[in-house]
């Protein structure tokens, strides 16, 4: 194509390089049609490809930029290789196919051509054979390690074709399909929130604007118009979640450490994450130990304004179905929360591109409800691990287990006996032993026992037990307690004691009394 005085056209050399960079295929991800092939004349070939201008070659053309120089208009950076159909389509609808959309098409087409370079392309006949093989055997003729990735890419391309203003990334994990939509330009569309969800939506949207907090709301709560892509996704989604996050974000490293009462230092792994900005504050989030630990810190832009907030969470689902004795990073997480719960101070430093951006020191979190709750759950897991280890039993962790306070107390008692020792001073035990005796026919015999003058030993037994531990049935041993020197104490008048009457007894120990505990 020759260059004239009114148009800033591409040179033939530029056109040749452009088409080869995308393997002579249309750059529209929803098309990708080959643009050259044989002619009936053996000395000729056919070409249906066009070196289209991203920003028009002349004033009045689609996406024309007056600030662009003539050299820039004719440069390969302003060119995109398309089939003739797609080149007409983008120029007839420049509002849909804006500069950012076309630049993204070009980048992805060149990336795909680079990945396919030197690799065999499957012919239609081969594809038909493999499809038939799959239909007859249930397994493809040739196993494709990238099958799931390819399916996601195909889904993304199909959705992008509905609205090229979006870059779509589809993924599938743990039974859930996720579509990440990245707008390539400012967009206008209509979002309607159903009445029952308005208050929730408004509050979450306020948090998004003011603090950069990602908002998530049920897909059933909203209806969208103005984008075929969004309309298509929401029309076929049930029980989904729409998550909206703010921009810009920057990668950040969050370092934190604990300082104990005697100046001991506990350094935690660096947390890799990002910093998100809102109108009133910024939030720093990061994870460590393969996503098991997450720390989110919110700080006001004005450091003199109160309102800083720190949240530390543990993703217990990372341990799902793993052996209790082999939970990854359990010891590190348990030690961390044990120290927090016992008053160690929390200190942090945030770095962006190696530069210190924020420092926080001396926060005490032991009385925070979230810290108390997580420590209790970790303590429960710790006790279960230790008891199972002692019994030589293996069970698996279930994050959906309902924690039971009675099972917790039983595990704690078995762990005390097996780790601390079986003999202790009764003064180290909380409260005195109690029981209820039922008078028989000879009530005088019972009165004589209760009137004993000298301290005597007494033995109690409990169990064995069968408990639900992480949704698995586990047998735990019975417990035997011997109090070496106690006296019975009755808190009510039993002078008129009758057969069958219940008598509450408190066993009061002598100062040198010991409690001997054993597993049965």
Q: Compute φ and ψ for 55, nearest 5 degrees.
A: -105, 130
Alpha-carbon distances of 382 from 32, 54, 389, 421, 468, rounded to whole Å: 57, 62, 11, 18, 16
- Residue 24: its pLDDT value, please? 93
**CA 406/CA 408 separation, integer angstroms:** 5
- Residue 165: its pLDDT value, please? 84
**CA 276/CA 247 separation, integer angstroms:** 7
Determine how many CB atoms are found less than 10 A away from the CB of residue 59. Answer: 8
**CA 487/CA 415 separation, integer angstroms:** 28
- Residue 138: its pLDDT value, please? 52
Indicate the helix (H) or strand (E) that contains 125: helix 124-137
353 phi-psi bin (left φ>0, alpha ψ -120 to 50, beta other): left
**CA 416/CA 410 separation, integer angstroms:** 10
The token pair that represents 345 in the structure block: 């101070």
Q: How many residues are listed for the chain in this entry?
A: 520
Alpha-carbon distances of 391 from 202, 411, 477, rounded to whole Å: 54, 12, 9
The CA-based angle 160-162-168, given to 5 degrees, is: 25
Per-residue pLDDT of the chain (520 residues; tens, 9 = 90+): 344 457 889 999 999 999 999 999 999 988 888 999 888 888 888 889 999 999 999 888 999 988 888 899 999 999 999 999 999 999 998 888 889 899 999 999 999 899 888 876 655 555 555 555 555 555 555 545 556 666 777 777 878 888 888 888 888 776 777 878 888 877 787 888 888 889 999 998 898 888 888 888 888 888 888 888 888 877 777 778 888 877 667 788 888 889 999 999 998 888 888 888 888 887 788 888 989 999 888 777 776 666 667 888 999 999 999 999 999 999 999 999 999 999 998 888 888 887 887 777 778 888 888 899 999 999 999 999 999 999 999 999 999 999 999 999 999 999 999 887 778 887 777 788 888 888 888 888 888 888 877 888 989 898 899 999 999 999 999 999 899 998 888 888 888 889 999 989 888 888 889 889 899 8
- Checking DSSP bridges between strand 345-352 and strand 465-469, what pairing results, if any? unpaired
Report the candidate in 365, 368, 360, 370 with the shortest Cα–Cα distance to residue 345: 365
Q: Could you check whether the bond before residue 248 is cis, i.e. omega within 30 degrees of 0?
A: yes
Q: Compute φ and ψ for 428, nearest 5 degrees.
A: -85, -5
Q: What does the buried/exposed string (b/e) look like for 29-50 if buried means 16 or more CB atoms within 10 Å of the residue's CB?
A: bebbeebeeeeeeeeeeeeebb
- Residue 44: its pLDDT value, please? 86
489 DSSP β-pair partners: 506
**CA 375/CA 155 separation, integer angstroms:** 43
DSSP state of 396: B
Q: What does the buried/exposed string (b/e) look like for 86-107 if buried means 16 or more CB atoms within 10 Å of the residue's CB?
A: bbebbbeeeeebbbbbbebbbe
**CA 183/CA 165 separation, integer angstroms:** 6
SS3 60: coil
Angle between helices 147-162 and 228-235 (to 10 degrees): 120
- Residue 395: its pLDDT value, please? 95
Report the candidate in 263, 242, 193, 262 with the shortest Cα–Cα distance to residue 222: 193
Q: What does the buried/exposed string (b/e) look like for 407-436 if buried means 16 or more CB atoms within 10 Å of the residue's CB?
A: bbebbbbbbebbeeeeeeebeeeeeebeee
347 DSSP β-pair partners: 257
Q: Are 298 and 211 in contact (CB under 8 A)?
A: yes
Alpha-carbon distances of 418 from 390, 439, 454, 518, rounded to whole Å: 8, 37, 32, 9
- Residue 126: its pLDDT value, please? 52
- Residue 21: its pLDDT value, please? 93
- Residue 2: its pLDDT value, please? 43
């Amino acid at each position: 194509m020759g260059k004239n005085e009114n148009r800033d056209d591409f040179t033939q050399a530029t056109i040749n390089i452009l088409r080869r960079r995308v393997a002579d295929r249309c750059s529209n991800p929803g098309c990708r049609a080959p643009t050259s092939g044989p002619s009936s004349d053996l000395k000729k070939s056919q070409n249906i490809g066009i070196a289209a201008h991203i920003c028009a070659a002349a004033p009045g053309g689609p996406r024309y930029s007056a600030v662009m120089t003539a050299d820039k208009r004719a440069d390969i950076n302003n060119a995109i290789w398309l089939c003739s159909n797609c080149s007409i389509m983008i120029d007839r609808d420049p509002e849909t196919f804006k500069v950012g959309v076309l630049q993204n098409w070009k980048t992805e087409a060149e990336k795909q051509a680079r990945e396919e370079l030197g690799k065999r392309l499957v012919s239609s006949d081969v594809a038909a054979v493999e499809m038939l093989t799959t239909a007859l055997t249930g397994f493809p003729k040739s196993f494709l390690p990238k099958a799931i990735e390819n399916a996601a890419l195909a889904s993304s391309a199909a959705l992008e074709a509905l609205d090229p203003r979006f870059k779509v990334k589809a993924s599938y994990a743990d039974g859930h399909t996720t579509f990440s939509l990245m707008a390539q330009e400012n967009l206008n569309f209509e979002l309607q929130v159903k009445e029952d969800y308005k208050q929730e939506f408004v509050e979450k949207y306020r948090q998004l604007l003011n603090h950069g907090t990602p908002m998530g709301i049920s897909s059933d709560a909203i209806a969208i118009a103005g984008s075929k892509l969004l309309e298509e996704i929401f029309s076929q989604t049930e029980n989904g979640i729409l998550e909206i996050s703010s921009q810009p974000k920057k990668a950040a490293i969050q370092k934190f450490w604990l300082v104990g009462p005697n100046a001991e230092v506990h350094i935690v792994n660096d947390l890799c994450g990002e910093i998100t900005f809102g109108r009133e504050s910024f939030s720093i989030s990061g994870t460590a130990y393969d996503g098991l630990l997450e720390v989110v810190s919110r700080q006001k832009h004005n450091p003199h304004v109160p309102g800083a907030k720190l949240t530390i969470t543990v993703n217990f689902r990372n341990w799902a179905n793993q052996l209790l004795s082999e939970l990854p990073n359990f010891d590190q997480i348990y030690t961390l929360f044990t120290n927090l719960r016992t008053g160690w101070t929390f200190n942090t430093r945030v770095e962006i591109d190696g530069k210190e951006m924020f420092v926080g020191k001396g926060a005490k979190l032991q009385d925070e409800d979230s810290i108390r709750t997580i420590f209790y759950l970790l303590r429960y897991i710790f006790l279960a691990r230790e008891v199972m280890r002692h019994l030589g039993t293996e069970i698996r962790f279930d994050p959906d287990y309902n924690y039971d306070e009675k099972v917790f107390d039983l595990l704690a008692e078995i762990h005390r006996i097996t780790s601390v020792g079986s003999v202790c001073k009764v003064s180290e035990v909380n409260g005195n032993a109690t029981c209820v005796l039922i008078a028989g026919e000879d009530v005088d015999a019972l009165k004589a026992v209760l009137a004993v003058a000298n301290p005597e030993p007494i033995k109690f037994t409990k169990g064995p037990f069968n408990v639900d531990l992480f949704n698995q049935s586990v047998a735990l041993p019975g417990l035997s307690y011997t109090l070496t020197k106690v006296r019975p104490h009755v808190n009510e008048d039993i002078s008129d004691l009758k057969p069958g009457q219940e008598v509450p007894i408190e066993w009061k120990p002598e100062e040198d009394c010991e409690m001997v505990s054993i597993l049965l």
